[in-house]
């Protein structure tokens, strides 16, 4: 038996795992896991009072089921950032047009993970834990870099909806 005690099994959900993989740099997965877990702990500790948690999340918090609360938070943040429409460049009649198209669920989730991590990395001062936690809190309060990216994508699609029939 090891001196440090028995290792507890980690239960990781798909969205959480993909977020960890997007945070990971240079193959340092353990470091990425620690960053994401500490960021989620920080988010849970500093949830804004104006933010209304859904009923299932309130039940999880009261039951001290932290893992399920973290998974629910990540799912909600991912869903808030997930794009529904984007533009894709297509060559039609000798011109390159930005054609709006619906984003499949898996691709939208993937984009939202990338946008969240990218927005967190672009933040100014602090550790990655703090930047990621602040990005999560901003998304829950309907602001932040990742949501701005989603809105820009949506505006581009709406501006080019004239070309939506050109396929």
CATH number at residue 113: 1.10.455.10
Nearest C-alpha neighbor of 120 from the set 18, 13, 14, 19: 19
Give CA–CA dist 65/63, Å, rounded. Answer: 5
Q: What is the pLDDT of residues 37-90, one digit of tens each?
A: 999 999 988 886 655 665 655 555 554 567 788 888 899 999 999 999 999 888
Would you say residue 25 lies in a domain? yes
Would you say residue 89 lies in a domain? no
Is the pLDDT reported for residue 146 higher than 60?
Answer: yes
Would you say residue 9 lies in a domain? no
Tell me the residue range of the domain where 116 lies: 14-83+104-141
pLDDT at 63: 41
Q: Please report where in the chains the tokens 């609360």 appear, as a residue.
A: 69
DSSP label at residue 23: H
Would you say residue 90 lies in a domain? no
Would you say residue 158 lies in a domain? no
Number of domains, the chain: 1
Would you say residue 43 lies in a domain? yes
Cβ count near 20 (within 10 Å): 20
Q: What is the pLDDT of residues 80-129, one digit of tens each?
A: 999 999 998 888 888 888 889 999 999 999 999 999 999 999 998 889 99
Cβ count near 151 (within 10 Å): 11
Q: What is the CA radius of gyration of the chain?
A: 19
Q: Are 112 and 83 in contact (CB under 8 A)?
A: yes
43: which 2 tokens?
């988010």
């Amino acid at each position: 038996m090891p001196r440090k005690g028995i290792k507890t099994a980690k239960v990781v959900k798909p969205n959480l795992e993909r977020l960890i993989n997007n945070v990971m740099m240079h193959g340092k997965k353990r470091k990425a896991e620690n960053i994401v877990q500490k960021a989620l702990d920080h988010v849970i500790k500093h949830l804004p009072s104006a933010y209304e948690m859904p009923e299932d999340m309130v039940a999880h918090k009261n039951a001290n089921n932290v893992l399920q609360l973290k998974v629910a938070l990540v799912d909600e943040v991912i869903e808030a950032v997930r794009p529904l429409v984007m533009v894709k460049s297509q060559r039609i009649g000798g011109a390159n047009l930005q054609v709006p198209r619906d984003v499949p669920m898996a691709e939208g989730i993937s984009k939202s993970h990338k946008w969240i991590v990218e927005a967190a990395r672009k933040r100014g001062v602090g550790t990655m834990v703090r930047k990621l936690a602040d990005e999560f809190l901003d998304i829950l309060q309907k602001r932040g870099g990742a949501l701005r990216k989603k809105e820009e994508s949506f505006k581009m699609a709406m501006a080019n909806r004239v070309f939506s029939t050109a396929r």
